[in-house]
Amino acid sequence: MKLGEIESQLQRGHTTAEKYSYMASAVVDVSTPAIHSGHSLIAKIGGGNVPAAQGVQSAVCFTVAADS
């Protein structure tokens, strides 16, 4: 392989990594307010035996566990 080809492949890989990093940051930026709202909702209603709260709690806890 020629040096120019190697440099070209490295540059494409770097560009791809930057795009994935940008997309991951965008997902976090978009989902953070919703997760915060879920936590606020759970705090307000206290969780417990409220069926709707259990759904919100499981969704929020799953999201938090995936982030860890």
Summarised one tens digit per residue, pLDDT across range 16-65 is: 888 889 999 999 999 889 888 877 877 777 656 677 777 777 776 765 55
Count of domains for the chain: 1
∠58-63-68 over CA atoms, to 5°? 125
**Whole-structure pTM value:** 0.52
Domain range enclosing 40: 3-67
Q: What is the pLDDT of residue 12?
A: 83
